[in-house]
Amino acid sequence: MKYIIFNWKSYLNIAESMNLSKIVSKLPSTKKYKLICSPNNFYNLSLKSRYPKNIYAAQNIDLHGKGASTGSIDIEDLVNNKIKYCILGHSEVRSNFGETDLIVQKKTDLCLINKIKPIVCIGEPLKIYKSKKTKFFLKKQINKIFKKSNNYEEVVLAYEPLWSIGTGLTPKLSEIDDILGFLSKILENYSFKKINILYGGSVNLSNIKDILSLRNLNGVLVGSASTKSSFIKHFK
């Protein structure tokens, strides 16, 4: 089964998010794909109550929890409203809010303690890619986020080359598959009950078939393309 995660970011208003959620809810169930919607965090709870059969993911959480923390997204709210997944360490959160690998590590642990499955994003900037140090960079990220002493339940790892997100540029298929195989090998040094490795970065209707055919791939994390009904209907 391949993960297909629709990361709607902040592209859609509540009515548009409702419309796409309705389309997802009407798709026939299949063992081929696991479809996960990730709308703006402000809409998540109302969408889940309206379309309870859909699987939803939060776009982030806050470490502070309930209390005097203005604007925070409390993990208790996700648990109480049956939000099963949470995206962590996305490049936009890292660049816009200064999120570090250490913060991602703490959020990953918090999710797992609360039975929320983390979708952990990692990826290299263009400078690293051009200098052919991608594998070294990714290994360093993994070592900071995951602890070899921990026993992890299900984790989803999304490889997103930063230079590919929203640019229309993608690595060669052979490069993606090579990196995914490398990540699989690195993760063997950690205790995961289940690990799924995804690719994200300018995924769209024109390339998704080829990307999903990659040997080492367990799914995709899709941004702006997933805000189109035609993209979602592709998985019927």
Q: Active-site residue among 90, 92, 99, 124?
A: 90
Distance, in Å, from the CA atom of 164 to the CA atom of 174, rounded to the nearest integer, reads 15
Strand runs labelled E in the chain: 2-7, 33-38, 55-58, 85-88, 117-122, 151-159, 191-200, 219-222
Phi-psi region of 71 (alpha: psi -120 to 50; beta: other; left: phi over 0): left
Residue 207: both structure tokens together? 């390339």
Told to judge if 90 belongs to the known catalytic residues of this protein, a careful annotator would answer yes
Catalytic position from the list 92, 99, 124, 160: 160
Q: Is residue 174 classed exposed, middle or buried when 0-12, 13-18 and 19+ CB atoms within 10 A define those classes?
A: exposed
**Which candidate, 32, 74, 82, 80, places its Cα nearest to that of 57?**
82
- DSSP conformation letters of 55-106: EEEES---SS-SSS-TT---HHHHHHTT--EEEES-HHHHHHH---HHHHHH
99 is catalytic: no
146: nearest Cα among 137, 155, 134, 158: 155
68 C-beta neighbours (distance < 10 Å), count: 6
For 208, residues 6+ apart whose C-beta sits below 8 A from its C-beta are: 220, 222, 234
Could you give the residue numbers annotated as active site?
A: 90, 160
